[in-house]
Amino acid sequence: MSDKKTGKNAFLMYKGKPLVRNGKTIYYGSMADKYVVMLQILSTKPYQDMEIANKVLVQLMYTDPEIRARDRIVKKSEKEGLYNALDIGSIWLERALRDQ
């Protein structure tokens, strides 16, 4: 998805890959690649006047729709905080895409 006037990507980017949020689920990476990281916010905690992610489930998964949903998961872990979850997810994704 790109803005035709400026040619810029309309997605929020992190380390050159798109971040797409749907409710409490965040997808990191391109669906055109073999792998993507799914971050599911399991719990939140109050911080000042907002809610921040407390526990986050990180899953490295295949993007191939032909693979059954339960067989798509390559790695998974639960992390404290969104930064820690995104950090490990980006490492897993980088390694998986490099090694394919």
Interatomic CA distance for residues 82 and 33, integer angstroms: 23
Locus of tokens 């939140």:
44
Instruction: State pLDDT tens for residues 1-30.
Output: 444 444 555 789 999 999 999 999 999 999
State pTM to two decimals.
Answer: 0.85
Note whether 59 and 75 are within 8 A (CB): yes
pLDDT at 8: 58
Q: Helix, strand, coil % (nearest 5) of the chain? A: 20, 50, 30
Q: What contacts 18, CB < 8 A, 6 or more positions away? A: 9, 11, 12, 27, 28, 29, 30
Nearest to 26 by CA among 17, 47, 99, 64: 17
